[in-house]
Chains A and B, each alone.
Chain A
Amino acid sequence: MSELIAIFFSMALVNNMVLVKFLGLCPFFGVSKKTSSAFSMGIAVMLVMLVASAVTWPLFHLLLVPYGFEFMRTVIFILVIASLVQIIEMSIKRTNMTLYNALGIYLPLITTNCAVLGITFINIDQNYGFAASIAAALGAGVGFTLVLLIMSGIRERLDLADTPKVFKGAPIAFLIAGLLGLAFLAFGGMVG
């Protein structure tokens, strides 16, 4: 249990998906202008990460490994993730329209998001068991949402600040992301 908690915090803070592993940067700079959309995007990504990890782990360890097909993981994983996202989007759209309008529109973006595929690869590379994979996916999702929220809050205020003209927009956002990463370094020794 303590190992699971350690993995959770490690993925959420110490090895944060966005700031340390550089995964999920496109939505990070694209969706993080408003806090409400940032939160919806974060929750949607976390959901997909959880489902993807839950499905790809047994697929890898029970189907690919015993028959020596580890090299097929990239293709199989991406196929599975794409189909899963499609089904999730369909389910939400048909059953709960309010939820769909809140976060369903981000789901197609998440299919090609490196964060989702990244977490499935990390689960394999780190040799996590099933429970550990779920904990890692949860941690990664929470970390992603956290950073996205912080970034959107800062960017909302950044709009009003007196930024030099050449830095307005993407450059200053990158610099702020760097500073944020620097701050997250403080979590370094947290998970022993």
Chain B
Amino acid sequence: MSTTILAVILLSSVGLIAGIAIFVANRILPKEDASLQKANEIKERLPGADCGACGKPGCFAYAQAVAKDVEILDDSPCRILASDEDATQALGEYLGIDLSNAGPGSKAVVHCTGDSPRIGSYSGVQSCAAAVQVGAGEKECPYACVGYGDCATVCPVNAISIDGEKNIAVVDWETCIGCGMCVAACPRGLIELIPVETPQYLGCNYQAAKDIAGRKKCSVGCIHCRICVRSSENGEVEWDDKKDLPQFSETLATNAIEKCPRKIIIKTSAHPSDNDPENPPKD
């Protein structure tokens, strides 16, 4: 037989055997697990950012958990999903349940709004975590926001921006979904998740007890004068002795906000109607 015919036979046989092998494998291998199929379907309807805010190692793990027990959606909700009405509805439709969009229970604030100047010219790795390793960070105030944006980078909804003049991070209260990724990213622990109902927070984290150098390090740093505590009528502002900073409650402390000499008590957007012309909302 000529080589050509033999070659054709050889190729065809190998192809045929390969095809049969795949066919047989398809038959004898166990069918795809039905619950895994469901988990895959759920995963398609999740944001897919793998941010870990739900407490599970990635969206697929969360999908598997939800496939087993739908209650997980309430116990440890997916934060990004909570901020997207359409996606929540799509998932609810697939699962055949009504998922209401409660919104996040807490949101992030940055406890630094000052303009402390940089102490030198840093040209290393442009990351906060790296900058703070190089001798007392980078700004005159040792508690200040370093401003290289590690928090902005991890935010899954781009709610954090860096103020170019002051080099500090600013969280957009409306966009924030309260996932907490930024809290972990900040090397100075400046970001805190506070309940959505809290109407104000302190824009400073200067925790040196007897040192009122807050006044010298930046133009708006807390000077621990305690006027906020003294001016609060119903005890809505208390003094945290450990941190040597005021502690706010869920009540709007109008007097304190007005009387603070450094104007360092910032309103969150929780009460946009309380527009005090002398103390406009700073974020």
Q: Do chains A and B touch in the complex (CB under 8 A)?
A: yes
- Most A CB contacts (10 A, CB to CB) among B3, B29, B60 go to B29
Distance between Cα atoms of A72 and B3 in the complex (Å): 11
Contact A160 B11 (CB under 8 A): no
Of residues 15 through 58 on chain B, the ones whose CB sits less than 8 Å from some CB of chain A are 15, 18-19, 21-22, 25-26, 29-33, 36, 39
A97 to B22, CA, bound (A): 20
Chain B interface helix/strand/loop/mixed: helix
Q: Does A86 contact B (CB under 8 A)?
A: yes
B269 within 8 A of A: no
Is there an interface contact between B6 and A67, defined as CB atoms closer than 8 Å?
yes
A79 within 8 A of B: yes
B134 interfacial by beta-carbon distance below 8 Å: no
Interface string of B99-130 (1 = CB under 8 A from A): 00000000000000000000000010111001
Q: Is the CB of B11 within 8 A of A95?
A: no
Shortest 6 CB-CB distances between A and B: which pairs? A83-B18, A94-B29, A160-B125, A87-B25, A97-B36, A160-B127
Q: Which of chain B's residues have a CB closer than 8 A to the CB of A97?
A: 33, 36, 39
Min Cβ gap A14→B in Å is 34
- B97 contacts chain A at the CB level, 8 A cutoff: no
A3 at the interface (CB under 8 A from B): no
Task: Count residues of chain B with CB under 8 A from any CB of chain A.
Answer: 26
Instruction: State whether the Cβ of A101 lies closer than 8 Å to any Cβ in chain B.
Output: yes
Interface size, chain A (Cβ < 8 Å) = 23
Task: Please give, as numbers and ranges, the residues of chain B lying within 8 Å of A112 by CB-CB distance.
Answer: none
Which residues of chain A from 44 to 103 have any CB-CB distance to chain B below 8 Å in the complex? 67-69, 72, 75-76, 79-80, 82-83, 86-87, 90-91, 93-95, 97, 101
In the bound complex, what is the Cα–Cα distance between A76 and B10 (angstroms)?
Answer: 9
Question: Is B5 part of the binding interface, using a Cβ–Cβ cutoff of 8 Å?
Answer: no
Of A67, A80, A91, the contact of B29 (CB 8 Å cutoff): A91
Which residues of A come within 8 Å of B, CB atoms? 67-69, 72, 75-76, 79-80, 82-83, 86-87, 90-91, 93-95, 97, 101, 157, 160-162
Q: A72-B7, A97-B33, A160-B126 are in contact. List 13 more A-B contacts (CB 8 A).
A: A69-B6, A72-B10, A75-B11, A76-B10, A79-B14, A79-B15, A83-B21, A93-B32, A94-B30, A95-B29, A95-B30, A97-B36, A160-B127
Question: Is A69 in contact with B126, judged by CB distance below 8 angstroms?
Answer: no
Cβ of B131 to closest chain A Cβ, rounded Å: 11
Distance A30 CA – B250 CA, assembled complex (angstroms)? 50
Q: Chain A: which residue is nearest B43 at the CB level?
A: A101
Nearest opposing residue in chain A for B35, CB measure? A97
For B32, list chain A residues within 8 Å (CB).
Answer: 93-94
Given the contacts A90-B25, A94-B31, A80 and B18 also touching, CB distance less than 8 Å = yes
